[in-house]
Structures are given as structure tokens and as C-alpha cells.
Amino acid sequence: MHPDFVLKVESVMVGNKDLLSTACEKIDISLEGVRKDRHFGFSKTAGVREKRFHEKGTEIWNSRQWSAVSVEELAEIAEGMGIPEVKPEWLGANILFSGHAAFTQLPPLTRFVFENGVVLLEYAENLPCVFPARAMRQEDPTITEAQERLFSKSALHKRGLVGWVERAGVIRQGELVKVYLPVAA
């Protein structure tokens, strides 16, 4: 089966206990997510994004085992904020892709099939919030309060994707990734 298109892995990262992530040579992926990442696990506690259905703190299935952003959309966010760059580490991302201008607009259940056999399934858009903007400003003191406030608006529909692991393995920088859009039922 031919992919709908191909992306390239520009970098891989592991999320720290705070929001930031750290770039590394490779990331080990299990069915629980990115090993040593703050979002690792089959379950998580419900937070503000799940409040419609679950009381805060309730244990629920982890639909956010990984997060990814694109080079193209990070450049658009930076432009909207009037800053030179937005680093994927500032957003706590696990994977930085290149090759698709509307990455965040990919539909749920899009599959990412990596050269080494890893398969990731997209769940949803990663909605912007105030925490990455604060982290960005802490990492780069030249970012002003006014620019920080522009993050949520600039990052809307450009903040990347989250999802879960369908097949475990290792993801390395430089890998090509076949992307398969969901087939309508």
C-alpha cells in the first residue's frame, strides 16, 4: 500500500518532568509511549482537558503517549509571535517532523509508519495553552510578555499532534516516515 505522503524526522526528544523536552539521538518506544518521558504509561490522571467527562484526578486511558510538531508550523508560530524561532523542546514535543505544511490538520487515526517498524496512531490536535509560552520565555529571556501572550493565538491549529503507540521500537533522527490517512468506513 502506497503512503499518502512521507515525512522526515528532524529530531527526537524526551519530555522532562516539567514541560520542556530534551533532544537525543533516538527514543525508545514501548506500547506505553516514549520511555522516560513524562507522558509515559497506559493511563494518566484526568486534567482540565477531560473535565467534561471525568473529575480531575480520575485515572483514565492515556491517549497522549507521544506528541509531534512540524518545522513548518513552528516557523509560522514564531512569525505570529514576532520571535526568531520556536524550539520543539519548548513545547515538550517528542518528534519534530518536516515535509507537511498543515501537519496539525491531519485527521485523527492518521498512521505514521517509521523505517524501523514503529507505528504511531494520531489521536488529536495538541491544543495550545499558556504553559509552553511561559516555558519559552524562561528559556529565552528576549521574548517579551506581549510576545508570550501571542502564543495561544499563533499556535492554534499549529501546535502539533498527540496520540498513542500501535507498534513499539526505536525512532531515530533522519528517519523517513510513511503517512497513511484514515480510510473512510
Over residues 136-179, the pLDDT tens digits come to 999 999 999 999 999 999 999 999 999 999 999 999 999 999 99
State the CATH number of the domain containing residue 79.
Answer: 2.40.33.20
Rounded Cα gap, residues 41 and 65, in angstroms:
7
Q: What is the pLDDT of residues 79-132, one digit of tens each?
A: 999 999 999 999 999 999 999 999 999 999 999 999 999 999 999 999 888 888
**Count of the separate structural domains present in the chain:** 1
3-state secondary structure of 111: strand
Rounded Cα gap, residues 152 and 22, in angstroms:
22
Rounded Cα gap, residues 60 and 54, in angstroms:
8
For every residue of 13-35, DSSP letters joined together read EEE-SSS-EEEESEEEEETTEET
Q: Does a structural domain hold residue 56?
A: no
Q: Does a structural domain hold residue 20?
A: yes
Q: What is the pLDDT of residues 41-65, one digit of tens each?
A: 999 999 887 888 999 999 999 999 9
Q: Residue 153's domain spans which residues? A: 5-34+63-180
pLDDT at 6: 98
pLDDT at 97: 98
- Does residue 20 register a pLDDT over 80? yes
| pTM for this entry | 0.94
Going by C-alpha positions, the residue among 91, 46, 50 that lies closest to residue 73 is: 91
